[in-house]
Each structure stands twice: as structure tokens, then as C-alpha cells.
Amino acid sequence: MGIPRISTLHDLYAFYYKSFASSILYKEVSMKIYYSKFVGVGYLLFASAVFPQIFFLLMHGSIDFSQLNLLTVIPSVLFFAAIYATIAGIKRLTSHRASFEFTFEGISVYPGLFFSKEIFIPKEELLRASYVEVDVSDPDHPNSKSCNLDFDLREVTQLEDISKSNIIIDTSFRTLRLSLSLCRFREEEKTELATYLKENYGIDFMY
């Protein structure tokens, strides 16, 4: 589509108004669910706790890399884990904050920081949605719960089985599960999502 011919000042104003309105409309039909900032902060706290200990052991000669044993392997693993945590924490707090993005065409899922590609779920594959809390029964956290968005899939689906950190697709049971355990998902966002799914996907959301 080419740029419309602009012959008067009124046409110029009309052109920019339509462009601005289109950008606003695009933003309105997109809804994102973000990773909690505590995830990024947790990565950085882990790194800040490990690095000083590694440097302390190195300065006092407690680690001898000429010998391969637990005293060298464990600090080495922790050191590289701390490097990963530093990069991951910065990314989670800056550029890689979205876990799920709902658009008019479907759902984009962002499962990882480095190697995992975006997973797209067309809205035509979805029938119903619900918010589910599952008691994980952790002995150390008796009241801990796993929070998820569960979707029923169509009987004949083009999707394939997937199991990632924040998404599980089980075609045998025709279910899609989006994990919210590491996300910020407030009560008012449930209402917003219910309205969004009804208006743009034509499906009901139970919560």
C-alpha cells in the first residue's frame, strides 16, 4: 500500500491522525504477561553471593586448579553459573521481560533467554481457557501453589507436543498449559484477560 497523496494541510493532518490511531489500535489489541522482577533480582542476588566467595577462595589459595577434585569442580561450576545468572538477571530486568504476549492472531510464548525460540499458538487452536492453581505439596512450603493458564485445544490440532519452562502442550489430552509461577499476574489482570479473550478470540475464560 503506497503513501496517500497529500495536497492540503488538512490532508496532512488527516494522514498523521490515521497513523496515530492505527498505532493506538495496535497497542490495544496486544496484551502481555511479564516475568516477575523478583526473577531477575533473584538471579543477581545469586551471582552477588557466589562471586565474592569464589574470589575469596582464590585469594587465599584454597582452590588448586592443577588438581581435579571436588574443591575445584564445584567452585568452577558455581563460577560459570554466576556468570549465567548475571546475564540472565540483566536480561530479565531489561529486554526479555515478557513471558506471554496475546495478539489478535494468537499467543506468542517466550520460554527462554538464550537458545529457545518464540513459540506461536494460533487463536484458532483454542476452545476454552481457565486459571488453575495447583498445590505442589512441597514439604518445605506446604502452602506453595503452581499457577497456570490452561487452554482446551481443538480435537484436530496442528500443534505438536512441547514441554518448556513456561509452556506445555499435550496433544493426547488436547491441552495447552502456560505457567505463571514466575510471572506477575494480578487479580485485575484476570478480568482484563477474560475480556480480551472474549472479544478477540471468542472464547470464555474461567477464573
Amino acid letter for position 202: G
Q: What grid cell was written down for 74?
A: 564445584
Q: Which pLDDT tens digit goes with each residue over 10-44?
A: 555 555 555 554 444 444 578 999 988 888 898 99
Q: Domain 102-206's class?
A: mainly beta
pLDDT band, residue 145 (cuts 50/70/90): confident
Please, which residues have CB within 8 angstroms of residue 106's CB and are 6 or more apart in sequence? 120, 121, 122, 123, 124, 125, 126
Taking the C-alpha atoms of 71, 84, 43 and 82 in order, what is their torsion angle to the nearest 10 degrees?
20
CA nearest to 122, candidates 153, 164, 165: 153
CA angle 106, 108, 90 (to 5 degrees): 155
Banded model confidence at residue 195, pLDDT cuts 50, 70, 90? very high
pLDDT at 28: 53
- State residue 9's pLDDT score: 56
Contact 31, 101 (CB under 8 A): yes
Q: Where in the chain is the domain with CATH 2.30.29?
A: 102-206
Tell me the pTM: 0.72
